[in-house]
Structure 1
Amino acid sequence: MTSGPEFPDDFRAELVNLFLWRRDVRRFKPTPLPEGALERLLDVASIAPSVGLSQPWRFVMVESAQCRAAVRACFERCNAEALASFGGERAALYARLKLAGLNEAPCQFAVFADRATEQGHGLGRLTMSATIEYSAVMAIHTFWLAARAEGIGMGWVSILDPAEIATILDAPPEWTLIGYFCVGYPSENHSVPELEREGWEVRRAPMVIRR
């Protein structure tokens, strides 16, 4: 058995700094990613843990103008519905928020979880089947941190109709949409999340319950 690596104090401090500077980016430069950068980040994402080593994540690159326009139309309709659900000052604040980078981000992709995958042989999923989706989220987060370490930003667009996005992208019925993402170089950087800067919400200490 070999001993594991030892990470020094300065590395751990930089790791926390990486976590602090991971932002949900909405404002992108049109600059394309360097050749091979996306493939490298996808390789890193595939190191993420997954239930039964199932690796159920499926990355669908959205490159055609037709698909991107359809996704943007879906967002605009869902965003209008969300705005109508708020009232008063909260509605005015919502209207000011920039909630997607669909017009600017040079790279866009959707991540699905393949619930029918035979990889992993079902290990760990009998009593908690949602671990397939959780595993895909782990890959997303791994990608997100690796991208930020290279100065590349990522934004999660959640104001979408999952069924419509699956249809637009011609996803198999056994795939579950986990998220739609915009990736590129940020046009600005902030250590504080936009929702906190705009007064929508504040970050709180973790809730811990002891039994």
Structure 2
Amino acid sequence: MNITEQERDAVYKTIFSRRDVRGQFLPEPISQQVIMRILKAAHHAPSVGFMQPWDFILVQNAETKQAIKNGFEQAHQASAEMFTQDKSEQYRQLKLEGILEAPLGICITCDRSRNGPVVIGRTIKPEMDLYSAVCAVQNLWLAARAENLGVGWVSIIEDEVLRSALGIPQDIDIIAYLCIGSVSHFKDKPELETAGWLPRRALEEAIHHDAWQPHQVNNSSER
């Protein structure tokens, strides 16, 4: 099945317009049909040995969201103290989650024991199942963007907070907690890029030919 030029362009548009959304969520609910479409896209991610190690916990209960929000606030405070003073001040001013604002949260997990201890493709690199679950996150993110929904990945939270709030067993790995919903607008650039936290790295700096080649670091003020 060939991809048409228009379909190809739509895929690239979705990739380049994807954003980590924090502060633009609208309260309107997401239809069940749309939720199932984006979950189906996530469920069709590539997985090592076709083990499909992911599960999806849908979070809409207000009390559960508040427990997760409280965990974020604690982790956020601890994280702010890890940066230099100037970066810490900038960090505290950033909006880094939309846990309460987004109508839906989805926690994506990884069952590393699924389908037994020996899995094709994981015999040498056992972490491949974790990477597979991350591919499910990316599929979901792009599908949500194609539905004009925003997604925000909340990584500033301890796993134990999510385990407690969502009843996740200790032998199940937590991959991501995502905030999902309609948004007032999508930003033209990633928020951290716009805020001056870091510039976008030039593609040329990430490309090597035939072997690893160290790149010169450009420390000029113009960067």
TM-score category by the smaller chain? over 0.9
| Structure 1 equivalent of residue 51 of structure 2 | 54
Q: Secondary structure at the match of 1:177?
A: strand
| Structure 2 equivalent of residue 17 of structure 1 | 13
| Structure 1 equivalent of residue 4 of structure 2 | 8
Q: Secondary structure at the match of 2:107?
A: strand
Mean CA deviation greater in 108-117 or 87-96: 87-96
Q: Identify unmatched segments of 5+ residues in structure 2.
A: 212-223
Give the whole-Å Cα distance in 1 for the aligned partners of 2:57 and 2:7: 33
Kept in 2, the 8 Å contact 1:53–1:120? The answer is: no
Structure 1 ranges of 4+ moved more than 4 A: none
Give the whole-Å Cα distance in 1 for the aligned partners of 2:116 and 2:17: 34
Q: Secondary structure at the match of 1:145?
A: helix
| Structure 1 equivalent of residue 69 of structure 2 | 72
Kept in 2, the 8 Å contact 1:153–1:183? The answer is: yes
Give the whole-Å Cα distance in 2 for the aligned partners of 1:173 and 1:146: 30
Aligned mate of 1:186, from 183, 187, 192: 183
| Length, aligned pairs only | 207
Q: Identify unmatched segments of 5+ residues in structure 1.
A: none
Kept in 2, the 8 Å contact 1:55–1:119? The answer is: no
Give the whole-Å Cα distance in 1 for the aligned partners of 2:11 and 2:117: 30
Matches for 1:85-164 after TM superposition, within 5 Å: 85-118=82-115, 122-164=119-161
- Equivalent residue letter for 1:10: Q
- Equivalent residue letter for 1:170: G
Q: Secondary structure at the match of 2:32?
A: coil
Kept in 2, the 8 Å contact 1:50–1:136? The answer is: yes
- Equivalent residue letter for 1:129: P
Aligned mate of 1:173, from 170, 175, 186: 170
Give the whole-Å Cα distance in 1 for the aligned partners of 2:113 and 2:137: 19
- Equivalent residue letter for 1:77: Q
Give the whole-Å Cα distance in 2 for the aligned partners of 1:109 and 1:129: 25
Q: Secondary structure at the match of 1:36?
A: helix
- Equivalent residue letter for 2:5: D
